[in-house]
């Protein structure tokens, strides 16, 4: 897998944006990617140094469509990436603060 296949999109919520000042960033990642692959992909894409990676598998929620129809939204994987102290911040998130 290449880096663009591993890191799918940034997660932009109030809780995830509160960690930006401490160099903690949140991304949606490929379900099959492990922590080592995620760290290497972030270092390659954003030119930063990753200290640690935490992952969470998010279960799909039950969604109703009408009276009798229902189904589940897709399940996905979230990665919380902490950068090293001497690493530069990710510029994408800096424009949002």
- Give the integer Cα–Cα distance in Å for 37 and 30: 10
Which position has the higher pLDDT, 37 or 93? 37
- Give the integer Cα–Cα distance in Å for 74 and 42: 24
- Give the integer Cα–Cα distance in Å for 63 and 8: 23
Q: Which residues of 62-81 are buried (b: 16+ CB within 10 A; e: fewer)?
A: eeeeeeeeeeeeeebbebbb
Condensed to tens digits (0 to 9), the pLDDT of residues 45-63 reads 999 999 999 999 999 999 9
Is the pLDDT score of 91 beyond 90?
no
Q: What pLDDT score was predicted for residue 22?
A: 92
| pTM for the whole structure | 0.88
Is the pLDDT score of 97 beyond 70?
no
Instruction: Mean pLDDT check: name the lowest of 32-41, 48-57, 85-94.
Output: 85-94
């Amino acid at each position: 897998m290449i880096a663009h296949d591993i890191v799918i999109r940034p997660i932009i919520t109030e809780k995830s944006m509160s960690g930006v000042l401490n160099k903690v960033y949140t991304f949606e990642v490929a379900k099959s990617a492990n922590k080592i692959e995620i760290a290497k992909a972030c270092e390659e894409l954003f030119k930063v140094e990753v200290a640690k990676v935490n992952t969470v598998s998010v279960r799909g929620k039950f969604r109703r469509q009408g009276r009798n129809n229902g189904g589940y939204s897709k399940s996905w994987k979230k990665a919380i990436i902490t950068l090293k102290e001497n690493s530069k911040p990710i510029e994408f998130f800096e424009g949002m603060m």
